[in-house]
Amino acid sequence: MPRSLERMETNEKDREPVGRKEPCPCGSGKRYKNCCFKKGIMYERDETGTVSRLVHPDEDLEKILEEQRKKFVEKFGREPGPKDEIFFDMPPAEHLEAILSEAMKQAGVDPAAVYAFEKTGFILSTENKHLMSDAQLAEWDAAVDEYHRLHGDPGKD
């Protein structure tokens, strides 16, 4: 198994989601299930008891889409239709990739994984790795190794 995958799995091991009946971590004073849970926001607690907001790259993409929808409404005074270009002011594809990379870094994703995403153009996670071909897995692993080579980090563990 590629080294990077093992690391990603270990990271998730000691974490648990915040319970729905607990006070919402956003500080609203409501229970989580009556607050951020309804908005699809997830929190998790690590082994030290620190609660952090769980951010998935997908969720960030949704946020970007929602932002674009709002901008569209502001500019044109109506909801975008099926034929409208919602990314009317969107930077080229590479920029969208950069936005995603930044979102991943802020979410605490292993920088080597972010680098691998930039190199390969796909995101390898524990959820989707079974869908990946051997060639893709090898490509991902090579990118992770390359990152460690470039940054003089032979892998901390």
By the criterion CB under 5 A, which residues form the site for Zn ion? 24, 26, 28, 35-36
Q: How far apart are the C-alpha atoms of 7 and 140, rounded to whole Å?
A: 14
Q: How far is the CB of 8 from Zn ion (least distance, A)?
A: 27
Q: How far is the CB of 29 from Zn ion (least distance, A)?
A: 9
Which of 29/152 has CB closer to Zn ion? Answer: 29
Q: How far is the CB of 49 from Zn ion (least distance, A)?
A: 18
Q: How far apart are the C-alpha atoms of 95 and 82, rounded to whole Å?
A: 24
Q: How far apart are the C-alpha atoms of 112 and 151, rounded to whole Å?
A: 10
Burial classification of residue 157, based on how many CB atoms lie within 10 Å of its CB (0-12 exposed, 13-18 middle, 19 or more buried): exposed
Residues 6 or more apart in contact with residue 108 via CB below 8 angstroms: 52
Q: How far is the CB of 24 from Zn ion (least distance, A)?
A: 3
The first and second tokens of residue 83, run together, are 């034929």
Which of 38/105 has CB closer to Zn ion? Answer: 38
Which of 32/147 has CB closer to Zn ion? Answer: 32
Which of 62/102 has CB closer to Zn ion? Answer: 62
Q: How far is the CB of 104 from Zn ion (least distance, A)?
A: 23
Element (H, E) at 42: strand 42-45
Q: What is the dihedral of CA 102, 106, 111, 116, to 10 degrees?
A: -40
Q: Which has the closest alpha carbon to 5: 98, 130, 106?
A: 130
